[in-house]
């Protein structure tokens, strides 16, 4: 139960996780979104490669844990057709990354305080790097009621490119409601980027199945390839519903197979000041993927 603390933004656009023990996790994976029709004509397929990890800087298990965290994602978009949106071929390769810290402090019996400050870059290849940067921070606390229930509140701040910053409540839930079954806002092996809930079924000691849904929002700086949106803003929104089968191959190594469908999808194109140029929905998009994880 206490191996993970996870923050979930309710109705907002950030969900961050770090393993809060002496073990620093390493993850890498690949996800492919099958082609989906875009309103106004044409279609879109996507590929995602990601890598993330953490390095403990200080660990006094009874009181204080501090870790450095980092992640990188390459989103490759393939627009085809001459529709209203796809005909613009608005962006191709989008790079996102973050560098931050995780701080956990056990300040009283059964109580823990956590903070997650970070700086992020979100931009298409060729965008001005200084214009891709935003900051974020989460602050909250959790209370362990029993071996089967940890819950707590908090608050989060997320800067947005050419848009108002988001300030929102967050919540931590880790509830084992039946033998081998739990409800959590905890990590889901990199399957998605946003807030949500998941149900985990521990099939056996080395095999686990996770079913969940999340809300994803990715907003990023563009290059100069579109005259009307030079250094503009692209946005991709979705609610993925997913299943993950995880096999713990060894004490330190695990592999996960991921499949699901993204719903409520839409694409947004804004100019460099954040004024709307175009927006289109696209059909539910099936996706499949593979994740590899290693703990030191």
User: What is the overall mean pLDDT for the chain?
Assistant: 86
Give me 6's structure tokens.
């996870």
Evaluated on CA atoms 104, 191, 10, 174, the torsion sign reads negative
Q: Of 275, 266, 219, 203, whose CA–CA distance to 94 is shortest?
A: 219
The secondary structure of 195-218 as a DSSP string is -EEEEEEEEETTEEEEEEEE-EEE
- Residue in the block written with tokens 């279609």: 43
pLDDT tens, position by position, 162-178 = 988 888 888 888 899 99
Nearest-angstrom CA–CA distance, 176 and 147? 8
Instruction: Domain of residue 196: give its range.
Output: 4-295
Residue 265: C-alpha distances to residues 87, 94, 286 (Å):
18, 18, 12
Model's pTM, two decimal places?
A: 0.87
pLDDT tens, position by position, 46-84 = 999 999 988 888 888 778 999 999 999 999 999 999 999
Count of domains in the chain? 1
pLDDT tens, position by position, 240-289 = 999 999 999 998 899 999 999 999 999 999 999 999 999 999 999 999 99
Give me 139's structure tokens.
């602050």
pLDDT tens, position by position, 128-187 = 999 999 999 989 899 999 999 999 998 888 888 998 888 888 888 889 999 999 998 755
């Amino acid at each position: 139960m206490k191996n993970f603390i996870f923050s979930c933004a309710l109705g907002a656009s950030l969900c961050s996780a770090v393993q809060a023990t002496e073990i620093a996790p390493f993850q890498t994976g690949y996800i492919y979104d099958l082609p989906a029709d875009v309103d106004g004509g044409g279609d879109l397929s996507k590929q995602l490669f990601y890598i993330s990890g953490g390095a403990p800087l200080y660990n006094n298990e009874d009181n204080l844990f501090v870790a450095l965290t980092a992640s990188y994602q390459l989103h490759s978009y393939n627009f085809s057709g001459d529709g209203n949106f796809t005909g613009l071929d608005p962006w191709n390769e989008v790079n996102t990354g973050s560098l931050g810290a995780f701080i956990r402090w056990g300040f009283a019996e059964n109580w823990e305080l956590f903070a997650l400050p970070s700086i992020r870059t979100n931009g298409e290849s060729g965008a001005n790097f200084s214009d891709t940067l935003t900051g974020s921070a989460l602050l909250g606390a959790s209370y362990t009621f029993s071996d089967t229930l940890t819950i707590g509140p908090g608050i989060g701040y997320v800067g947005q490119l050419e848009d108002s910053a988001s300030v929102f409540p967050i919540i931590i839930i880790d509830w084992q409601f039946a033998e081998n079954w739990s409800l959590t806002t905890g990590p889901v092996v990199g399957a998605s980027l946003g807030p949500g809930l998941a149900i985990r079924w521990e099939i056996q000691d080395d095999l686990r199945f996770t079913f969940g849904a999340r809300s994803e929002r990715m907003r990023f700086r563009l290059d100069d390839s579109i005259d009307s949106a030079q250094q503009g803003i692209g946005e991709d929104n979705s609610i993925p519903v997913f299943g993950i089968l995880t096999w713990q191959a060894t004490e330190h190594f695990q592999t996960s197979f991921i499949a699901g469908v993204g719903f409520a999808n839409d694409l947004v194109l804004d100019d460099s000041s954040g004024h709307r140029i175009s927006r289109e929905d696209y059909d539910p998009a099936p996706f499949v993927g593979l994740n590899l994880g290693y703990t030191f």
